[in-house]
Every structure is written in C-alpha cells, then in structure tokens.
Amino acid sequence: MNWDIIEGNWKQLKGNIRQQWGKLTDDHIDMIAGKRDDLSGKIQEAYGVNKDEAEKQIKAFEENHKDYRP
C-alpha cells in the first residue's frame, strides 16, 4: 500500500492502526496524523523496539492493508 493513501485516509484507518498497535493512545494516533516517521517513533516508544523492528511492523501493516480502497 502506498503510504500517501494511508496518510490521506488516516481517519478511516485509525481503527486498524489502533487494533495493530493497541498501546498507542488515541492522542498518539491523532498526533501521528498519517506520518510514517511519527508512527515509527511512537511504536518504538510504546513497545520498546528499535527502528528496524518498528519499520518491519509498519511494512507488515502495509502488506495486510494493500487491498484497502478509500
């Protein structure tokens, strides 16, 4: 999935983000606002993982939602 699509449809995908990364609060998700780097940083903070692991999780999320159509 193209990250531009995720960013543009962030409000619609918030539930999926929340389901994937339950430790992220609604405030976190609102502050991220579809920005991939911010999501990566919040995943690192909340889950205590390094940048590579956060990126791996984001890529898996993208793969799982590649058929998403706005």
Q: Which residues contact 37 (CB under 8 A, 6 or more apart)?
A: none
More confident residue, 55 or 2: 55
How much is the pLDDT for 6?
81
* 69 occurs within a structural domain: no
* 70 occurs within a structural domain: no
Instruction: Check: CB of residue 13 under 8 Å from CB of residue 6.
Output: yes
Confidence class for position 64, pLDDT limits 50, 70, 90: confident
In this structure, what CATH number is given to the domain that contains residue 7? Answer: 1.10.1470.10
Confidence class for position 65, pLDDT limits 50, 70, 90: confident
> Domain count of the chain?
1
Which tokens belong to 59? 């890529």
In residues, how long is the chain? 70
pTM of the full predicted structure? 0.86
Q: The domain containing residue 38 runs over which residues?
A: 3-64
Query: Each residue of 4-61: pLDDT tens digit?
Result: 888 888 888 899 999 999 999 999 999 999 999 999 999 999 999 999 999 999 999 9
* 44 occurs within a structural domain: yes
